[in-house]
Each structure stands twice: as structure tokens, then as C-alpha cells.
Amino acid sequence: MQLKKWFVIAAALFVLVNSRVASANTMVYLLTSDHCTGGCGTAPFGSVTVSNNASGGVDFSVALAAGYTWASTGAGDGMMFKFNGTGVSLSDITVTSTPYGTENLSAYFKDCLTMANCFNGDGTGNFRFGIGCLPLSDCNGAGQGGQPPYVGPLTFTVANASLADVTGQNNLGQVFVADVLAPNGNTGPVDASTPQPTVPDGGMTMSLLGMAMAGLGVIARRRK
């Protein structure tokens, strides 16, 4: 009987530890800072979810709030999305969302050795990587001014990278920037700077700890 109880305790602790590992594999950022000319409305304007994948890279999914569409404006350096990466090269990035048919979105890089060599539009700080389509004419405008409209998530993968590699703050404290068209007709960059708190697990962690402690208590009483 003692062996069985130890097995239950070990199983509970295994699930607990692995649930903690799983939660550390994903981070969510909200796009809340408004740099749109005339304002883009009420934040949050969307979310950025970054997750470790089984291949040793990071998956990005950038979803806009209802009513918002992607844009490619000069204020956003012609990019729909911008981020930084430590130890990341352009060849590591694969864009998986395909809103514009045969001529589609790509990743772009600037070395950032000087301010002039960075993506740094509209006061959002310096970024080395962008997702967009240049020249815009190659992608039917690629969201220039919000046309043609694209509302779906922007998805891409960064190979050979960890969450820490792609979530560092830039020189102004920003982590990610998206260029959007708001329901009110205004366009411009919106950005994210801090991850959201871990979503509560509905008491699962405390239940597992309770199971483990109860099992240990039973064994201790048996020994007495």
C-alpha cells in the first residue's frame, strides 16, 4: 500500500512540475501603447503570443482586436510588425501567414549599427527585424493605408531561438510594434512592452499540492 501511495504522490508532483514548465513555454503581450495619428481608439489593440516549439525555435502569432486591420505606413517603416532578436539571423525567420497570394510577406533586417540603419519609425524605438512586403506595390499595396484589408493573425517562426532571444526590450523599452488601421480610420504603430501575468490555473496547482501533502500525511501516520 505504501508503494501505491508513493506512486500517487510522485505522479501528482510530476504533473505539477510539468504544468509549470508548460506555462513557461508561452508568453503573451498586449499591444496597448498608441502612436497613431489622432489616436487608434481604446487599448488593447491586439496581442502577441510567443511560444517555444518542439524544433527548438519560437512561434509568433500576432492577433489584432476586433475592427482593426493590418497597415503598412511610413510611421511603421513600411512593416506590419517589428521585433528584435538576439543571435537571430534573417534566414531563421519563416513567415507562415499568406494574405497576399503569390507575392507575399517576408522578413526584413536592418543591422542597427547606427540610428539610420534601424527600423525606428514614429518614436517607437530601434528594431532590427520587420515583417512586411517591400515594395508595397508587389503585394497589392500590402495593407498600405489598410488596403487591401487583412484582419487575420500574422504568424511566423524564428528557428534556433528561445523566448528570451526574441522578447528583449529596445532602447525605448518596447518589445513589439504592429502597424494598424483602426475602426476610426486612423493608422499608425501600436506597441507592447511587458508580458501579461501567468493565467491562473483554476486551483489545479493547489489541488496537486494538496494531493501530495495528503499522501505524505497518510504514510507518516502509517509509520507511527
End-to-end CA gap in the chain: 15
DSSP summary character for residue 39: -
Amino acid letter, residue 2? Q
pLDDT in tens, the chain (224 residues): 554 444 444 444 333 333 333 447 999 999 999 999 899 999 999 999 999 999 999 999 999 999 999 988 888 888 999 999 999 999 999 999 988 776 788 999 999 877 678 999 888 999 999 998 876 665 655 455 555 678 889 999 999 999 999 999 999 999 999 999 999 999 999 999 999 885 544 444 444 444 444 444 444 455 54
pLDDT of residue 68: 95
Alpha-carbon distance of 177 to 188, in angstroms, equals 10
Per the DSSP assignment, residues forming a β-bridge with 49 are 28, 61
Beta strands in 148-214 (DSSP E): 154-158, 176-181, 187-192
DSSP summary character for residue 199: P
CB 51, CB 34: distance < 8 Å: no
Hey, where are the domains in the chain?
22-201
Whether a cis peptide bond, with omega within 30° of 0, leads into 135 is: yes
pLDDT of residue 140: 52
pLDDT of residue 173: 95
What global pTM score does this model have? 0.77
Alpha-carbon distance of 11 to 46, in angstroms, equals 38
pLDDT of residue 200: 47
Query: Grid cell 529596445 — which residue?
Result: 170
